[in-house]
């Protein structure tokens, strides 16, 4: 997993997210900072404290700093996007901790992550009073609103096979299978395999979120 976060004057929100998500040794961190951050003592202190914590959770070398020139919003998005793609982990899973740092960096980080394809992106943000946090899967929000996908997901949620799903919605099994392949890229479904053969598809938490967004009668899941 790649953890992406803007870092401001206080590392406590980042620390809470890392502990909450049980950071693993193989996970990597990408700290998004404004160009020239070295001139701000409070940011340097926050970064030092974060590195100290990482020694016990993973390793100090697991954190990479991306300096973003402040200026054109489009250029900031492109800079962050390029660095995320450069450092993404093999599992292509991203945790975006958007609880601190400059608001301009938070917005452009979210925009950069929204432009990615074939990745799983979870967004987390802590309440300012530390009373709790929000968490949601960004990927289903980026998926196209497609009535065929809604009907396929509804059928899968009810435990129907690909063939039964195809019969119910009036599509061929081959067409349903192609749509399922597209839906996998948005983390809406995942295949269940027996050895090397796919025997069925199951709806993911992201797929349930998609149904709540677009599913009509299927939103009560």
Task: Give per-residue pLDDT as tens, 67-111.
Answer: 999 989 999 999 999 999 999 999 999 999 999 889 999 999 999
* CA–CA distance, 218 with 113 (Å, rounded to integer): 28
| Structural domain ending residue among the three candidates 90, 116, 137 | 137
Asked whether residue 88 falls in the same domain as residue 175, the answer is: no
- Across 155-170, average pLDDT: 88
Q: Does residue 52 carry a pLDDT above 90? A: no
* 180: CATH: 1.10.10.10
Q: What percent of the chain has pLDDT over 90?
A: 51
The rounded distance, in Å, linking the Cα atoms of 93 and 19 is 17
Q: Pairing state of beta strands 133-137 and 120-126?
A: antiparallel
If asked whether residues 132 and 156 sit together in one domain, one would say no
CA atoms within 13 A on the CB side of 181: 7
For residues 79 and 131, membership in a common domain is answered with: yes
Q: What CATH number did the domain enclosing 94 receive?
A: 3.40.50.11700
H/E stretch holding 17 reads helix 12-20
Does one domain contain both 93 and 130?
yes
Report the domain count for the chain: 2
158 vs 18: CA distance, rounded Å: 35
Q: Using CA atoms, how far apart are residues 221 and 212, in angstroms rounded to an integer?
A: 8
Same domain, 65 and 78: yes
Instruction: Report whether pLDDT(219) > 90.
Output: no
pLDDT of residue 59: 60
Q: What is the pLDDT of residue 83?
A: 96
Task: State the average pLDDT over residues 200-221.
Answer: 80
What's the predicted TM-score (pTM) here? 0.82
Which of 137, 157, 185 is the C-terminal boundary of a domain?
A: 137
Domain, as residue range, for 189:
142-219
Across the range 50-57, mean pLDDT stands at 81
Position 18 pLDDT exceeds 60: yes
Pair 28, 56 in one domain: yes
Domain boundary among 137, 167, 187: 137
- Same structural domain for residues 163 and 117? no
Given a cut of 70, whether residue 61 has pLDDT beyond it is no
Question: Is residue 221 over pLDDT 50?
Answer: no
Q: Are residues 32 and 94 in the same domain?
A: yes
- pLDDT on residue 114: 93
Q: Quick one: 120 and 21 in the same domain?
A: yes
**Confidence check: pLDDT of 150 > 60:** yes
């Amino acid at each position: 997993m790649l953890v992406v976060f803007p870092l401001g004057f206080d590392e406590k929100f980042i620390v809470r997210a890392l502990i909450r998500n049980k950071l693993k040794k193989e996970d990597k961190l990408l700290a998004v900072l404004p160009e020239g951050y070295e001139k701000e003592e409070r940011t340097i202190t926050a970064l030092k404290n974060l590195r100290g914590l990482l020694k016990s959770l993973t390793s100090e070398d697991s954190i990479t700093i991306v300096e973003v020139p402040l200026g054109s919003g489009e250029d900031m998005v492109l800079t962050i996007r390029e660095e995320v793609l450069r450092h993404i982990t093999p599992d292509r899973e991203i945790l975006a901790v958007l609880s601190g740092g400059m608001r301009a960096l938070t917005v452009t980080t979210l925009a950069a992550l929204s432009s990615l394809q074939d990745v799983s992106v979870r967004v987390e943000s802590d309440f300012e009073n530390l009373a709790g946090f929000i968490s949601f899967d960004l990927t289903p929000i980026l998926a196209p609103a497609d009535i065929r996908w809604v009907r396929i997901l509804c059928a899968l949620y009810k435990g129907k096979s690909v063939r039964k799903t195809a019969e119910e919605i009036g599509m061929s099994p081959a067409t349903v299978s192609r749509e399922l392949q597209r839906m996998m890229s948005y983390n809406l479904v995942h295949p269940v395999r027996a050895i090397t053969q796919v025997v069925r598809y199951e709806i993911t938490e992201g797929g349930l979120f998609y149904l709540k967004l677009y599913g009509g009668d299927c939103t009560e899941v």
